[in-house]
Amino acid sequence: MATAVTPMDCIIFGGGVAGLFTLDACVRKGMRVVLLESKALGTGQTIDSQGIIHGGLKYAITGNGSRSASAIKDMPTVWRKCLAGESLPNLQHVVMRSDFCHVWRTDSVRSKLGWIAAKFALRTKPVILDADELPHALQGTKGSVARLGEQVIEPRSLLEILSHNMTENILQTAEGGVEVSRLEDGWLIQLLNPETGEPQDIFTKKVVLTAGSGNAQLRTLFSLEAEKTQARPLHMVMARGDLPVLNGHCIDGAKTRVTITTTKDYADRWVWQIGGQLAEDGIHLVPEKLIQRAVNEIKEVLPNVDLSGAEFTTYTTTRAEQFTRGARPSDISILEENNVYTCWPTKLAFAPRLADEIIRRIGPKNDSEPVRIQEFSSWPTPVVALPPWEHDQPWTPIEVLQSQ
């Protein structure tokens, strides 16, 4: 028996921050749209990220990305309004890690120059703190310390809040359960229900790929060149225990020496995610060596922090971007080919900008009421991915490291 074909305006592949923001924008425009997720929502970059709503500090201090500098400058304001519930999507129930970041620098001439550039170039300008305003963790640092209006969100909570009201538009797919054929005026997507094995055919005019590192394989499925993608690996460090709350960057010259963000795990322990240059250099190191280096870095850049009783581990992850011949993209990227839009937000902070740009290209001119998609009411919905510190893996106590 032939399967009935369900017509759609748009199909989105991949439910990280980019896909969910785009889905939300399409739904609000009254488009018939579904998002297909092959694993758990946010698997890959979004759940592994540090959740900082960047305002361009990194670009300002490195002098890199002048075109994007103005775009990223606007992102903290865009997010602040959503996080306050003053604009859509309403993100006021997203768990916040912090309302601001600290930025502190190591005391070198190069570092000072970068600092001055940051002060002039940014919309959310760093405000230098007096000694009596410093949090305990930042007392005793060599250079000056500033507060920067970059909020820090809990990525898992963001994924939960964004997906919560759109469950009928978000479908779980199974490995090998998606086939694609090109038609004259769009695409036929043939799905298998991962629970029942029943087929479901969808005709769509537009396809949006927001699958992070999965974009390369999806592009092959749509007969597009996979080489247009690049992956930049990171080896992140995590510490847990009786740690002070700290969210911010230590700047040295034109580099972010470490970026530390703080969260709590399900057992109510403080957890630090430690990235920045340390995580970029860390890809060449085994976990034990990287942890040792991280401990040395922390002692140097945060002399007042007591690491007694802390435990450490690492995780590897990858930033997925449009291929840029060795350079680092500093804005969103969208490739438009045969009604397939391959998207990379480049930063979590850029997700609203990416969604706006997709709507500008494929959305209807006027807003209309969201439409209910009832054809998939019995289809399974994906869960949200677990953050890296909740995975079952060995943690090394600092006392063991010091005895080696």
Ligand X SMILES: Cc1cc2nc3c(=O)[nH]c(=O)nc-3n(C[C@H](O)[C@H](O)[C@H](O)COP(=O)(O)OP(=O)(O)OC[C@H]3O[C@@H](n4cnc5c(N)ncnc54)[C@H](O)[C@@H]3O)c2cc1C
211 binds ligand X (CB under 6 A): yes
Report phi then psi at 78, rounded to 5: -60, -50
Candidates 11-19, 104-112, 325-333, 395-403; binding stretch for ligand X (CB under 6 A)? 11-19
Interface residue with ligand X, options 210, 247, 262, 322 (CB under 6 A): 210
Interface residue with ligand X, options 9, 10, 11, 16 (CB under 6 A): 16
Site for ligand X in 224-253 (CB under 6 A): 234, 236
Report the residue number, 51 or 186, with the smaller CB distance to ligand X: 51
19 binds ligand X (CB under 6 A): yes
CB of 42 to ligand X, least distance (A): 5
CB of 68 to ligand X, least distance (A): 12
Interface residue with ligand X, options 80, 147, 255, 319 (CB under 6 A): 319
65 binds ligand X (CB under 6 A): no
Candidates 46-54, 131-139, 191-199, 391-399; binding stretch for ligand X (CB under 6 A)? 46-54
Interface residue with ligand X, options 143, 149, 248, 275 (CB under 6 A): 275
114 binds ligand X (CB under 6 A): no
151 binds ligand X (CB under 6 A): no
17 binds ligand X (CB under 6 A): yes
Summarize as ranges the residues that interact with ligand X (CB under 6 A): 13-19, 36-39, 41-46, 48-52, 54, 173, 210-212, 214, 217-218, 234, 236, 275, 317, 319-320, 344-349
